[in-house]
């Protein structure tokens, strides 16, 4: 059993803990943690059997803790990963990994030097429908992949009020990218490979809290396909990704529904069982720590996702295409 600490006990930190705590077979349990506002989390932590410690330093000094799960503000991610790695703790970090390629590379280097497992929380990789998409791509069911389209949107930014860290444009550049859109960027990379060039338009159409609510990207993948992507931070919730090939089209219309249209012949629509993807990612992290299969998101792809996000920020400011370093 992997004894872990949760750092950041807001809504998402609690969601992660709730997905595994007290559930047989998870391979991980939370014994301690830290949060900026301990009074708000005290009752919940007591119910879950989690001791609240003063800060990350105290968490890393606790001999019970073999791993840390970081659900902290975005700009604290790199510093937290490096501190945990230097303390010899395995790390699960929420997305976005960091906000710059340089800081992502420094965090990965610290983990490699310490010999600890680093796992990034892009939980959509654990959807059964996504596994089927990857299988079909690998088997050539779509022919040559020509184009990819994705959208991940929702209305969560309407609840981000002044004073909240998510309402800070430095923590949430390009509006919904940090909280939502970065998941779809990771999915584009997961399915179609590295992205080499991006153009971006990001604007505020309805929000008045200082954040963009409409962000759109046109990109080119290193392997040749083109791509379109949008994330809206004040709109009805949607998850959709489409793969367009020379011999077929494959569309994930929601996390459980997959539709295939071949160039010729009959297509199909399949409904997959709902998956607890938060539990799945933490179980995969625990298994990797204990010497099992490697966590299914290579650190090179984690760094590249950050590089794409950072380049999107530059491209929006430049008003034209920018190459991804």
- pLDDT score of 237: 95
- pLDDT score of 170: 84
- pLDDT score of 325: 96
Same domain, 152 and 209: yes
For residue 219, give the CATH number of its domain: 3.30.360.10
- pLDDT score of 164: 83
- pLDDT score of 165: 84
Pairing of strands 90-93, 214-221: unpaired
Residues of the chain under the 70 pLDDT cut: none
For residue 74, give the CATH number of its domain: 3.40.50.720
Residue range of the domain that includes 241: 125-323
204 three-class SS: coil
Query: Can you tell me which residue has the tokens 């793969």?
Result: 243
Same domain, 76 and 157: no
- pLDDT score of 171: 86
Q: What is 187-202 written as a DSSP string?
A: HHHHHH--EEEEEEEE
d(Cα 288, Cα 17) in Å, to the nearest integer? 18
Same domain, 101 and 143: no
Same domain, 234 and 311: yes
Same domain, 108 and 131: no
Same domain, 158 and 274: yes
Same domain, 95 and 108: yes
Same domain, 142 and 282: yes
Same domain, 132 and 117: no
Same domain, 108 and 138: no
235-253 pLDDT per residue, tens: 999 999 999 999 999 999 9
User: Residue 319 — left, alpha, or beta (φ > 0 → left; ψ -120 to 50 → alpha)?
Assistant: left
Same domain, 172 and 228: yes
């Amino acid at each position: 059993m992997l004894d872990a600490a949760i750092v950041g006990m807001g809504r998402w930190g609690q969601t992660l803990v709730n997905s595994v705590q007290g559930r047989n077979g998870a391979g991980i349990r939370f014994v301690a943690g830290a949060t900026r506002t301990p009074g708000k989390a005290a009752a919940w932590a007591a119910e879950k059997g989690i001791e609240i410690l003063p800060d990350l330093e105290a968490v890393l000094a606790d001999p019970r803790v073999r791993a840390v799960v970081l659900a902290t503000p975005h700009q604290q991610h790199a510093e937290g990963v490096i501190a945990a790695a230097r303390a010899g703790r395995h790390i699960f970090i929420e997305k976005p990994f960091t906000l710059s390629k340089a800081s992502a590379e420094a965090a990965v280097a610290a983990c490699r030097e310490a010999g600890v497992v680093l796992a990034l929380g892009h939980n959509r990789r654990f959807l059964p429908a996504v596994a089927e998409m990857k299988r079909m791509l690998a088997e050539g069911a779509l022919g040559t992949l020509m184009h990819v389209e994705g959208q991940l949107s929702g209305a969560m930014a309407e609840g981000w009020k002044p004073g909240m860290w998510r309402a800070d444009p430095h923590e949430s550049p390009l509006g919904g990218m940090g909280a939502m859109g970065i998941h779809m960027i990771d999915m584009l990379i997961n399915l179609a490979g590295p992205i080499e060039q991006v153009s971006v338009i990001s604007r505020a159409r309805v929000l008045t809290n200082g954040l963009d609510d409409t962000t759109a990207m046109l990109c080119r993948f290193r392997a040749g396909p083109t791509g379109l992507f949008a994330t809206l931070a004040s709109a009805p919730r949607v998850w959709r990704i489409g793969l367009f090939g020379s011999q077929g089209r494959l569309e994930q219309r929601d996390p459980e529904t997959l539709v295939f249209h071949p160039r010729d012949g009959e297509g199909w629509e399949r409904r997959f069982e709902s998956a607890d993807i938060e539990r799945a990612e933490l179980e995969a992290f625990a298994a990797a720590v204990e010497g099992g299969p490697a966590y299914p998101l290579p650190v090179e792809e984690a760094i590249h996702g950050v590089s794409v996000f950072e380049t999107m920020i530059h491209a929006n400011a430049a008003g034209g295409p920018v190459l991804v370093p």
